[in-house]
Amino acid sequence: TVSSDLSIERTAFELYVNMVLRVAVYGVRAVVSIYNYRVAVFYVPQNWFYPVLWFLSLPSAPMGSVSVTVWAFACNRVCKRAAAIFNRTLRPVAPPVTAPAPSSSDVAAARPAVGSGSALIG
């Protein structure tokens, strides 16, 4: 049918756009990291974070600095967390669906009458 064909085309288009955007975003990040392989984003004072200074300078930025790769990773984490918080706060929360309480006439109609023979005799 026409609606199922349109649905398939829409899904294919969404997958294509999603793939192109991912390649663009991660590709740009990879190119920037490779191009600025040995460049420091900023320097950290020597008495700060001394045990992890070598980690902050990975893969090969000068010791005591934060490399582009580590900075991109940190920015990515912060952006993902901020987007999650933003989505969580703006998403409308539907009130819980509860069944209406049965009225007394509904309860009485559901009980078998006394002496009607519907009770089990054991």
For the stretch 68-90, pLDDT in tens is 999 999 998 999 999 999 988 88
Mean pLDDT value of segment 84-102:
76
Global pTM value:
0.59
Rg for the chain, CA atoms, rounded: 31
The CA distance from 91 to 76, in Å, is 22
The CA distance from 36 to 61, in Å, is 9
For the stretch 9-43, pLDDT in tens is 999 999 999 999 999 988 998 898 889 888 899 99
Q: Which residues on neighbouring strands pair with residue 65, listed in sequence order?
A: 43
* Entry field: residues in the chain: 122
Q: How many CB atoms lie within 10 A of CB 49?
A: 13
Instruction: Place 122 in a pLDDT band, splitting at 50, 70 and 90.
Output: very low
